Structure formats: structure tokens, C-alpha cells
Structure 1
Amino acid sequence: MLSLPGDPPGGRRAVAVWGIGVAVYFVAVVFRTSLGVAGLDAAARFHVDASALSTFSILQLLVYAGMQIPVGLLVDRLGAKKVLAIGAVLFTAGQLGFAFSSSYGAALASRALLGCGDAMTFISVLRLGARWFPARRGPLVAQLSGLAGMAGNLASTLVLARLLHSVGWTGAFAGSALAGVAVLALLLFLKDHPEGFAPEPLPHQGAAAVRRQIAAAWREPGTRLGMWVHFTTQFPAMVFLLLWGMPFLVQAQGLSRATAGDLLTLVVLSNMAVGLVYGQVIARRHEARLPLALGTAAATACLWALTLAYPGDHAPMWLLVVLCLVLGACGPASMIGFDFARPANPAQRQGTASGITNMGGFIASMTTLFAIGVLLDATGGDYAVAFCTVFVLQALGVGQILRLRGRAARRERERLVASRVETVHVPA
């Protein structure tokens, strides 16, 4: 990818400013995934079954997914700094509320508030990356943003799990909420864009103009392809890390909680390593986007099939390790969705398009979380049946990707040719 006229220069200041946004996203993911290591504790604290336990994460993701298009519009209108500040206030309040909740209803309300704040972070970070770095750095910056989120997942797995067993529920969740206060202070130093690269201010928009902006983003095949790539690749790891990985490894595979925690950590470490590789590959070979996404989906389906169908009561440790390594590639593969949506939309529609794309994986995760909880209750805890939901959602997503890939490729070529013609006619 070549630099385009008007590209921001990047550099150390860009890294510092973008790093502030990444820090907010890091804390949001710590809070989002905190239930993944506390699922069994939450079931005991609130006296709930598997379906009710899954409702925590489903509600959080429902709020997150439902907020994506409004957040995208807000980012396009207000800029990343203001939206990140609102998000940080909301997810910190949600984490504090969860710490002191003594009833199931209060805990649900706290997770919904947390999901609302969490929803405002990632799209804002993507916008910061687009404003501060040249376009050719886009794939790598997006992957690094996702990597920071997985670092938050790792912190949740390593730190919060230990806090739960040392200081208890309230101490662990209330103590972690202090990180939200810290990133709010950091936001004082954030700028939406470099000097001289301010975007054109958007005129006042009524409801009709907002609908037109959403419709224009949706009409682009690249936006829809990006959404389905995100849908197909993100949810297997999200469901595993967010809620059902720990119960599956402990109850279905007979592992200790410590060993299960190590395997969850392995998913996160694999994600961080694969994210660096995928970002570099796509930055150099843009045509590798779809093969990487489809290859990751196929590998995930194969490993889940082997694990669930393995003869005997438990899958061997080597197979569980390989499964976790492959699940680690799901997050980086989902980031490829933004690399389809970004070039398909002009700058003033980037937030909206990113919001549509980001909805995909969270809708799939929410659906799978609910289906697994219902099937576990219906089958008396048969994880092999419950986790077959993964194959259904992946088949739906792959079908849509194959349907849209040709149209998206043709449209992207047309835009590339048009941008080259425009570049040739830029006056000296």
C-alpha cells in the first residue's frame, strides 16, 4: 500500500496518543472478561443455573452489539476523545456496581452498564489509528489494537482470578475499578487528530441524514463482507474466554481450575502472537485477507470437532493445547473484517462502517452464549451437544462470506482505480 495525499505522518507522537486510547480499551476488556474467570463464583454468589449465568454475558454483549452503530455515529460526530471519556465513566461505574451487587438483578444491571461503556472504546481506538497513522499502517495498527485487548484479557485471567481467591468478590471487582479512574485521567492528554489534519466538520444531521449514512455504509459490499468475517471468526474464542471455557475445561474435561486457567491464558498468548503475524502479512499482501479468515474458521471447526468427538470421557491434554492455540487465532482473524470495511467507505463514514462490522462477532457470541446455556440445561450438562452451536454459526457466516466476496473485490478495485486517477490529477 502506498501513502495517499493527506495521509497523517505517524511517528512517536502518534504512538503516544494512540496508546492512550489503547489503554482505555485495555481496561474495558479487563472489565468485560472479568466474568470469564469468575463464572463459577458468580453462579454460587447469585444462586443461578447455567442459563441464568449465561444471561450476564448475553446482556452485556446485547448492549455492546446494539450500541455499535450509535457509537460509530457518535465517533463520526464528536470525535474519539469525548466518546472514550463517556465510555470510561460508564464501564467504571458498571464494574463498581458489579462489585457491590448482592442480587442477580442488580448484577445484571451493572453488567449492562459495563457493556454500554465497553461498546464505546474499540471503534474510538480504530478512529484514532486512522487519524494519526498513514493508511498503509492500518492493518497493523488494527491488529495491535486487538492485541492490546487480548492483553487486557490476559490481565483479567492472571490477576483477577488471583484477587478473587485472596481478597474476595467485592475486593477484587472494586479494586480493579480503580484502573478505570486512572485511564480517565490519561484522557486529558489525548487529541483527536494531529495539527493540520482536522477532518471537515460534519453539518448538523437530523434523523433522515443519520439513516442515509447508515444505509450508505450498509450498501457497500465491503462493509457487509467485513461484518460477516467478524461474525464468523470472533465468536468461538470470545465464548470460550468470556464464559464457557472455564466450566468446559473443569466440568467436562476434569481439569483443575489452575490448569484450566493456564489453558485460557494460552488462548490469550496465542492471540497476541498470531495478531502480530496477521498484521504484518496483511500489510504486505492485501490479498491474503480472505484466505487467512477462512483458514482460521476451518481450523477452528476442525479442532472443535476433534475435541468434542474424541473417544473416552476426556480429550487428551495435547489436543486441548492445540485447540487453545487455534482459538487464539480467532481474534486476529476477526480484525480482518475491518480491513474490508475501511477501504470501502470514505473518511466521514468510517465510524459507522466500523460499528456495523463490529456488530458481527458480538451478535454471534451472544447467540452462542445463549444457545450453549440453554442446551446445557436441556441435556443435563452435555457440553458435546451444547458446543455444536459453533458449527451452525460458522456455516452461516462462511456462506455469507462466499456470497459477498466477489462483489466486494470488484467494488474495491473500482475505488482503487478512482483514487489513482485522483492522485494523478492532484495539482503540484
Structure 2
Amino acid sequence: MSSARSSHRLTHAHLVWAVGVFAYLCAVSARASFGVASVEASERFGVDGAMLSLFGVVQLGTYAAAQIPAGLLLDRLGPRRMLVLGAVIMAAGQVLLAVSTDLPAALVARLLTGVGDAATLISVVRLIATWFPTRQVPVFTQLTTMIGQFGQAVAAVPFLALLLGVGWAAAWASLAFLLLLSVLLVIAFVRDSPPEEPGTSPAPVARAGQVLKDVFTSRPAWSGFFLHWMTLMTVNSFLFMWGVPYMTALGISAAEVGALLTLNVVIMVALGPLIGVFTGHFPHHRALLGWIAGAILTLTWSLTLLVPAQLSAWQLLPLITAMAIGSATCSVGFDLARTGVPHRAIGTATGMVNIGGFSASLLAVLLIGIVLDLRTGEGAAGLTDYRVAMASQLVLMIAAGIGLWATTRDRLSPPAPPR
């Protein structure tokens, strides 16, 4: 390949990646939007906090359940079509929520958001694996997940400003517009793969049964599943549902809660590229990164929950930092799966890894709620109740550790094959 042609391909690869990242950022904005609109949603639909939590369960459960079907479609249709399909489905969900006045329609809207969201990140990961050299793939995967999290800022600032200033319908319609803008950009600039060399023929499309066999018989893919579970579960259960109530029980003010959550994102964004570079240069140590992050999370959670006194905001900094490390490390699971399956199955394998963290997060959210109910009955939960409930996640962390050990005990993760 000539130098000019190689340079053109690299420029095109960065453009494809940038558009894919924008599509993912839009998806995260749609995913996170309901969390900042909970007060307005409670008034609009006339529901209490317990029913509001159903929106999160529906969206998170749908997202996890749709991963394998989305992965199979990705391996058959390609990432360009899946990015378009995912964004259109999410846009439909935002439009439906904009006009909804009853609970069933609103739940269907969030279900559509979960379905469309399921197709987005795995499609961008597939684009990265196709367009970039092997050593650069972990770095760009980390950058994708880190930049995409700024979609939470879109939900927390401009979306919330529209919601409070202009109204419910206009705010949700703005998210639909943003998603449709990503559709136009994907159609205009994204291609599934670089142009083929002269004389080459495209690879045949594999059957779904063969792809599933490739994925579910791959120990590296299962290692990625359990690594994603171990590093992301407690992070999601904290950020999606129980972190704010727990910190409120500690007596931490709303301003301090916002500062801690912002700091979590900042640390995660700073660490992500470093972990990506390490993964690319030392692929045989990828599972070790998961063990280190899992150990840090388990130790920090244990020490935090064992302290009998009230904790101030600054005393929660070790836990906030540990969760940022977990968030930054979870993408290593995608890289384990990517190099452990044939190229035809990368999309499905990525979806399988995503199921690990998000299904375990859903279990953790439900487990914490069950423990709180058992301890408090109809009464309000106190700090001790939250400590016991949060500690129940240790059971799921042990399960993830057993799974990761079982899938890596006989070998080190193999280095990525040369492209």
C-alpha cells in the first residue's frame, strides 16, 4: 500500500470513528435523560418513586436482553446499518415519550430507547476493530467509551435546561432531533470497512448458529464477560439507582453529590486512554487488569462500608476513584472477546460481554432493593440499612471472580493476532 493511500485510509478511519463516537454520545444522552427528568416524570404520570424505578429496570433489562440479537444482526448487516437502525429506534422512543401522558406508553418509549441503545456501542467497537490496526484498537475503544460518557452532560445541562425552560415535549423532541442528526452523519460518512484491495472478494456472511457457537465456546469471550461484570456491576448499581440515596443517608449535600459524580467521570476519562495503551502493548496481561480493578473495588467498598461513623464527601473519594478505575477497565473485556473469536463473530461477542456488566448491574440493583425492603418493611431506610444492602453486592462480585478464574486459570490471555 502506497504512503499516500495509507494516509488517506487513516484519515478516513478517524472520520468514521468520530462519527461513530458522536452516534454513541447521542445514545448515552438518550439513555441518561430520564434520570434527570424523574421529578417532572413523577408529576406528569402521577407515579411515586417505586414506580419510577420501573423505568430504569425496563430500560436496563431491555438493553441487556437485546445484546445478543443486536450482535447477531450486527455481524449480518454491518455496523453502518445497525447505527442507523439503533438511532432511528431511539428517536422513535423520544418522540413517543414527548407525547405520552400515560404510564404504559412511557414505558414502551423507554423500552425502545433500550433496544436502540443496545445496537450502538457494539457497532462502534466493530468499526474500530475493522478500520484500525490491532495495537490501536484498545486505545480507540477506550476513547469511545470515555467520550461517549459526556452524553450524560448533554442530558444534565442542555436537555434539563430545555425541560425546565420550554417544557416536556420540546425537551424530548430535541433528543430525537439529535439522534436523527447522527443518522444523517452515519449515512454520509460511515462505511463498514475500508475499500477492498484489488482482486479480493468479500468474506461470506456466517450463519447465526455458527456465530453463536464461535462466541459461546470461546473462553476469552467468557473471560471478557466476567471481567466486564466484575469491573462495572457496583459502578452501575451506584450510578443508576442507589448512589444518591446512600450518599444522602450519609448526610452529604446535593452540591457535594454532584461534585463527586463529576469527579468520577473526570478520573475515568483520564484513566481510560492509559489503560487502552497498556492493553495494546501488553495484551497477555489483560485479565490481570481485570483482577486488579476488581480487587480495588472490593477492598474499597469493604473498607467504606465497615467504617461505623458518618463519612464526609472527601472521605468517599477513595470509593469514587475505585469506581472510576472499574469504569475505565471494563472495556478490556471487549478486547478479550475481540481477539478470542473469528472476525465474523466480533459483534455478537461484544454484545455478550456487554451483557455481563449490565445484567449483573440489574441483579445488584434488585438485590439491594430486596435487602432494604427486608430490613425496613414500610419504614424509611437508615444508614445501617444502606450499608448492609450495599454489602450484599459482594455475593455477585465473588461469582464474577469465580467465573473469571475458571476461564483464565489454564492460560494467560493470548496476545492479539497481527493484522
TM-score (normalizing by structure 2): 0.88
Aligned-pair distance for 1:107? 1.9
Aligned-pair distance for 1:199? 7.5
Answer yes or no: is the 8 Å Cα contact 2:162–2:171 preserved in 1. Answer: yes
Answer yes or no: is the 8 Å Cα contact 2:290–2:332 preserved in 1. Answer: yes
Whole-Å separation in 2 of the counterparts to 1:235 and 1:390: 9
How many residue pairs end up in the alignment? 404
Residues 49-198 of structure 1 mapped to structure 2, 5 A cutoff: 49-189=48-188, 190-196=190-196
Letter matched to residue 299 of structure 2: C
Answer yes or no: is the 8 Å Cα contact 1:227–1:337 preserved in 2. Answer: yes
Match in the other structure for 1:318: 314
Match in the other structure for 1:202: 204
Letter matched to residue 359 of structure 1: I
Aligned-pair distance for 1:238? 1.9
Answer yes or no: is the 8 Å Cα contact 1:81–1:191 preserved in 2. Answer: yes
Match in the other structure for 2:297: 300
Whole-Å separation in 1 of the counterparts to 2:7 and 2:235: 34
Whole-Å separation in 1 of the counterparts to 2:201 and 2:252: 53
Aligned-pair distance for 1:114? 0.2
Q: Which of 277, 282, 290 is the equivalent residue of 2:279?
A: 282
Letter matched to residue 187 of structure 2: L
Match in the other structure for 2:372: 376
Aligned-pair distance for 1:265? 1.6
Match in the other structure for 1:393: 396
Answer yes or no: is the 8 Å Cα contact 1:225–1:408 preserved in 2. Answer: no
Secondary structure of 1:195's match?
Answer: coil
Distance 1:368 1:100, change over 3 A: farther
Letter matched to residue 368 of structure 1: A
Aligned-pair distance for 1:408? 5.5
Distance 1:105 1:308, change over 3 A: farther
1:39-92 Cα offsets, whole Å, 9 max, x none, are 455455545455433321221122111111111111111111111101001111
Gap regions ≥5 residues in structure 1: 1-6, 424-428
Secondary structure of 1:144's match?
Answer: helix
Distance 1:183 1:325, change over 3 A: same
Distance 1:321 1:63, change over 3 A: same
Secondary structure of 1:191's match?
Answer: coil
Aligned-pair distance for 1:163? 4.4
Whole-Å separation in 1 of the counterparts to 2:243 and 2:163: 18
Q: Which of 324, 349, 353 is the equivalent residue of 2:349?
A: 353
Match in the other structure for 1:3: none
Give the stretch that moved more between structures: 146-155 or 393-402: 146-155
Whole-Å separation in 1 of the counterparts to 2:142 and 2:359: 21
Identity %: 34
Distance 1:300 1:51, change over 3 A: farther
Match in the other structure for 2:3: none
1:303-325 Cα offsets, whole Å, 9 max, x none, are 2223333323x311112223222
Whole-Å separation in 1 of the counterparts to 2:393 and 2:403: 16
Secondary structure of 2:330's match?
Answer: helix
TM-score (normalizing by structure 1): 0.86
Answer yes or no: is the 8 Å Cα contact 2:91–2:175 preserved in 1. Answer: no
Whole-Å separation in 2 of the counterparts to 1:238 and 1:199: 43
Letter matched to residue 308 of structure 1: L
Whole-Å separation in 1 of the counterparts to 2:21 and 2:326: 20
Distance 1:248 1:127, change over 3 A: same
Aligned-pair distance for 1:406? 2.8
Secondary structure of 1:409's match?
Answer: coil
Aligned-pair distance for 1:223? 0.8
1:116-150 Cα offsets, whole Å, 9 max, x none, are 00001011001110111111111112111111222
Distance 1:83 1:164, change over 3 A: same
Give the stretch that moved more between structures: 258-267 or 139-148: 258-267
Answer yes or no: is the 8 Å Cα contact 1:143–1:332 preserved in 2. Answer: yes
Gap regions ≥5 residues in structure 2: 1-5
1:345-379 Cα offsets, whole Å, 9 max, x none, are 11111112112111111111111122233333442
